[in-house]
Amino acid sequence: MESRYKKVLVVDFGGQYTHQIARRVRELKVYSEIISPEDFEKELKKMDIAGAILSGGPKSVLDEDLENVKKVLESTEKPVLGICYGHQLLAKAFGGLVEKNVVREYGRTRIKIVYRDKLLTDLPEEFWAWMSHWDTVTKPPKSWIVTSISESGAIASMTDNHRIYSTQFHPEVTHTEHGLKILENFLRKICYVEPWWDPGDVVEKIVEDIRNMVGPGENVVCAVSGGVDSTTTAVITHKAIGDRLYCIFIDTGLMRKDEREEVVETLKHVGIKNLIVIDASKRFLEKLRRITDPEIKRRIIGEEFIRIFEEEALKIPNVKWLAQGTIYPDRIESGRVGAKSSLIKSHHNVGGLPDKMNLKLIEPLKDFYKDEVRMIARKLGLPKNIWTRHPFPGPGLAVRIIGEINEEKLRICREASAIIEEELKRAGLYEEVWQAFAVVGDDKWVGVMGDTRKEGYIVTVRIVQSIDGMTADWYKINYELLDKISRRIINEVENVTMVTYAVTSKPPSTIEPC
């Protein structure tokens, strides 16, 4: 196979940055795939694999038996890059020394290059890198070369000077200066793969696959929410099978302002004729009354959604398939791939499928990251407001309302969020951030409006920047804009007496409050 079209494996040892590694490789236009360590041997043998990256991980290599990994690594001539846990794994597997608690480094750390190998080509002699480790490689394997050291004297990177490279720091996180360059060096100078990956190029193939999968006379049902994932899924499926696609939009009453009208408008615009719109807001609110536990809320919404969806889908003749907008990180966060990653929240759009109906699944976007889906949506000619739209969680505003969900808090959350989005758009900053929304809880603040004292709700503004939602930074908004948002919320949204701004990143906080 031409080396141009080769892929890179990312072996998931459970590290929090595994997705970032895979994303970065794709950003450098090489297709990457996250696999579990159990599949490493089998996958690495495949012809179209140019090399592998061993991720970080929460365990200690000191407690692990690495015989199997060692065997795999020795059975190949393919290049390997170990990162953090991967670095320590390589050290231990090849006879170096790893020790506990000799040097603990967390956060930004200064790195000095002491030997310039292919991985560190074109980097300055010193740079800042992101570290997060307790175990440390104190001696490299015999005949390996230490290529850089950290300010605490730890081995920051090393190589066998042939095909195995490793870094204690994380080149995949943005805090590491020249991190992308390091990964680029690995891809181009060590794996010899030129840039080739473009998600837009595979759309025709996906359309063709769906066309071949769905038998003549069989119909497909798709739940649409107005978000980029489900809309793109619907459009791709529609391209493949035309009016045999039936879209169902369930208005849970937990949607953004004007969402229902926009969904109808967009699907009409792309030529989808069979759209069923269900107003189920009363049903959802009733089920959610007095429920405060976030996971119970999610479960109720998920179950109710599936129930309504099933009721409606059963009315459509000869439905055999369900098209679903699952994307790559959804599968991993929900534990369907990479068994080592831990479940943080149950994402209802992946968790529950209408099993009674025994439908087969079409997931055209299951291998893509969000920004790749956006590229595809753009290539498909979808309107800009769709492919630039912020992600919106399946359970909707329910995960932004702390405590019981009622109409009052929903109204506040919806109106305030619309103001935040509108102001960001006006300032030309909407596309710079990952998500921007309002959060409402039960705490009250005494306000003085005119001459009267009045208790009102507190609205927290949450604006974050992120690459894939797995980690996020709170957005350093300018004060004037924040002031404008705050004043508009107080003036325009009834019963709000205080606006606060959320200034904690993920981790430790999640993006949505519940």
Tokens 């003549």 -> residue: 216
Going through 452-502 in order, the beta strands assigned E by DSSP cover 452-465, 473-474, 496-501
Helix (H) or strand (E) holding 362: strand 360-362
How many Cβ atoms from other residues are within 10 Å of residue 334's Cβ? 19
Task: Transcribe 172-230 into DSSP letters.
Answer: TSTTSTTHHHHHHHIIIIIS---S---GGGGHHHHHHHHHHHSPTT-EEEEE--SSHHH
Work out whether 344 is an interface residue with ligand XMP (CB under 6 A).
yes
Name the one range near ligand XMP by CB under 6 A: 262-270, 311-319, 347-355, 451-459: 347-355
Name the one range near ligand XMP by CB under 6 A: 56-64, 133-141, 243-251, 504-512: 504-512
Q: What is the spatial distance between Cα 250 and Cα 260, in angstroms, rounded to a whole number?
A: 9
Work out whether 296 is an interface residue with ligand XMP (CB under 6 A).
no
Which residue of 281, 465, 495, 510 would you call a contact of ligand XMP, by CB under 6 A?
Answer: 510
Tell me which of 105, 172, 177, 304 is the catalytic residue: 172
Work out whether 298 is an interface residue with ligand XMP (CB under 6 A).
yes
Q: What is the spatial distance between Cα 22 and Cα 165, in angstroms, rounded to a whole number?
A: 17
Q: What is the spatial distance between Cα 389 and Cα 431, in angstroms, rounded to a whole number?
A: 8
Name the one range near ligand XMP by CB under 6 A: 123-131, 201-209, 237-245, 343-351: 343-351
Q: What is the spatial distance between Cα 35 and Cα 464, in angstroms, rounded to a whole number?
A: 29
Q: What is the spatial distance between Cα 372 and Cα 347, in angstroms, rounded to a whole number?
A: 20
Q: What mask of x and - would describe binding to ligand XMP in positions 413 to 452, judged by CB under 6 A?
A: ----------------------x-----------------
Q: Smallest distance, Å, CB 506 to ligand XMP?
A: 5
Q: 452-481: which residues touch ligand XMP (CB under 6 A)?
A: 469
Q: What is the spatial distance between Cα 413 and Cα 209, in angstroms, rounded to a whole number?
A: 41
Tell me which of 170, 178, 238, 347 is the catalytic residue: 170
Whether 84 sits among the annotated catalytic residues: the reply is: yes
Whether 247 sits among the annotated catalytic residues: the reply is: no
Work out whether 331 is an interface residue with ligand XMP (CB under 6 A).
no
Work out whether 233 is an interface residue with ligand XMP (CB under 6 A).
no
Q: 369-398: which residues touch ligand XMP (CB under 6 A)?
A: 391, 393-395
Nearer to ligand XMP, 141 or 351 (CB): 351
Name the one range near ligand XMP by CB under 6 A: 194-202, 214-222, 342-350, 374-382: 342-350
The DSSP code for 38 is G
Q: What is the spatial distance between Cα 80 and Cα 376, in angstroms, rounded to a whole number?
A: 31
Q: Which two tokens stand for residue 463?
A: 């604006």
Query: Could you give the residue ranges of the DSSP H alpha helices within 39-193?
Result: 40-44, 67-74, 85-93, 179-185
Whether 413 sits among the annotated catalytic residues: the reply is: no
Point out the residues that are catalytic.
84, 170, 172
Where does this chain bind ligand XMP (CB under 6 A)?
A: 298, 344-345, 347-349, 391, 393-395, 399, 435, 469, 506, 510-512
